[in-house]
Amino acid sequence: MPRRLGELEDAVMTRVWQWNRPVTVREVLEDLQQERSIAYTTVMTVLDNLHQKGWVRREAEGRAYRYEAVSTRAAYSAALMNEAWSVSDNPAAALVAFFGMMSQEQRQALRDAMRVVQAVGPEEVSEPGAGPPESER
């Protein structure tokens, strides 16, 4: 199970996931600065930490790096949901409570997802690399 991302880690990863391409510290910094005051070195440290934890890979470009997500936000979210469900002492009750919290749109998305899984099988739907390496989970 991946460790839940911290608030700033999530803000950085959100950009990396949304842009779905290798990004620089400067690009992430400029986007984050539209919402908050933040230093270049802070963003650089967060991306380095995310690299150390296995969330992003990086490739040198001159004196800087370009960072790219190792997995998708969907895989991260699925891993968090799976962990929360698996630690319940009553998984069926946990699912019923979870479904009760869902909006109509979310319940429709669940029905759609179940149809996909039933049509092709769960092994063809699951996404490899749902977070950091096993050693970091």
pLDDT digits over 12-60, tens only?
999 999 999 999 999 999 999 999 999 999 999 999 999 999 999 999 9
Average pLDDT over residues 86-104: 90
**Structure confidence at residue 135 as a pLDDT band (50, 70, 90):** very low
pLDDT of residue 86: 85
CA-derived radius of gyration, the chain? 18
How far, rounded to the nearest angstrom, does the alpha carbon of residue 45 sit from its chain's CA centroid?
Answer: 18
Determine phi and psi for 73, rounding to 5 degrees. Answer: -60, -35
- Angle formed by the axes of helices 7-19 and 40-52, to 10°? 80
Q: What pTM value is reported for the model?
A: 0.72
130 has pLDDT over 80: no
- The token pair at 59 is 């490739």
130 burial (CB, 10 Å; 0-12 / 13-18 / 19+) is buried
